[in-house]
Structure 1
Amino acid sequence: MAYNVREMLNSFVGGLENLSKTNGEQVGAFMGLLGAAYEPKHLDLKTKELMSVAIGCYNRCEYCIVYHSYKALEAGASKEEILEAAMVSVAFGGGPSMAYTVTLLQECIDEFEKDFK
C-alpha cells in the first residue's frame, strides 16, 4: 500500500489548526503539553523525536509516524538513526511494528529526507 505521506502530514497539521477554531482551549492544552515534553533538558530534541518515531511504530499510529519522522529529520536525525530507533519498537511490538517500519516509515524517510539536505 502506498501512502501519500506529505498529504498526511499536511492533513494532520491542518486538522489541528481547524480544530483549534472550535476547541482552542483543548488543542492549546495539548500543544502546551507537547511543547513542555519536547523542550530540551536532559535529552535533546533529536533524541525525543527518535523516541517518538519508535513509539509511533509500536502503537501503529500512522499520523504519529508521519509527523515524528518529519520532525526527527528536521531535528537532524539521519535515516540510519530513525530506522535504529524504529527497530527498538520492533523488539517490543513484533510483526506489526516491523510492518509499519518497512512500509510507512520508509516512505516517510524517502519523501522527507530530501527536505533537510
Structure 2
Amino acid sequence: MAKNPRELLNSFMGGLKEVGKTNEEQVNAFMNLLGAAYKPGAIDTKTKELISVAIAAYNRCEYCIVFHVYKALEAGATREEIMEAAMVAVAFGGGPAMAYTVSLLKDSIDEFAPDFNK
C-alpha cells in the first residue's frame, strides 16, 4: 500500500513539535543545524535540497524523502531536477534507491508540486 507523502510530512513535523515539548534544547539544536546547513553560501539552497533528496533516497529514509522533496520544490526545484538528483542516488544505491524513487519520491513530487505551482 502506498504511503501518503503529506501524512508522512505532517507526522514528522508534528513529531518534532511534540518531542520539542520535553526535549526543547535538542530539537532546537537540530533545527539550528538545519538552518545553518541550508543557508545559501557557496551552494544555493535549491542545490542543497537536491543533494538532500539524493541522500534521502539513497538512505531510504521515508521522512527525509518527503521533507526534502517538499523543501526542494519550495526552493524552486523542478520535477526534472528532483528526479535527476534521485537518479544519482540510484547510481550509488541500486535497486533499493530506485524502489523509493519510483514510489514515495515520485508520489511526493505529485503531492507537493501543486502547492508551489499556483
TM-score with structure 2 length normalisation?
0.97
- Residue identity opposite 2:42 in structure 1: H
2:69 maps to what in 1?
Answer: 69
TM superposition shift of 1:25: 0.5
Name structure 1 gaps, 5 residues minimum.
none
1:86 maps to what in 2?
Answer: 86
TM superposition shift of 1:79: 0.2
TM superposition shift of 1:105: 0.3
1:4 maps to what in 2?
Answer: 4
1:50 maps to what in 2?
Answer: 50
Structure 1's consecutive aligned runs of 4 or more residues displaced over 2 angstroms after TM superposition are: none
CA distance in 1, matches of 2:29, 2:73: 26
TM superposition shift of 1:2: 1.1
Name structure 2 gaps, 5 residues minimum.
none
Q: Equivalent residue of 1:39, what SS?
A: coil
- Residue identity opposite 1:48 in structure 2: K
- Residue identity opposite 2:112 in structure 1: F
TM superposition shift of 1:4: 1.0
Residue deviations 1:39-85, cap 9 Å, x none? Answer: 10000000000000000000000000000000000000000000000
CA distance in 2, matches of 1:5, 1:92: 24
* Matched-pair identity in %: 72
1:38 maps to what in 2?
Answer: 38
How many residue pairs end up in the alignment?
A: 117
CA distance in 1, matches of 2:19, 2:62: 19
- Residue identity opposite 1:85 in structure 2: A
1:100 to 2:100 alignment: yes
RMSD, aligned CA: 0.5
Q: Equivalent residue of 1:40, what SS?
A: coil
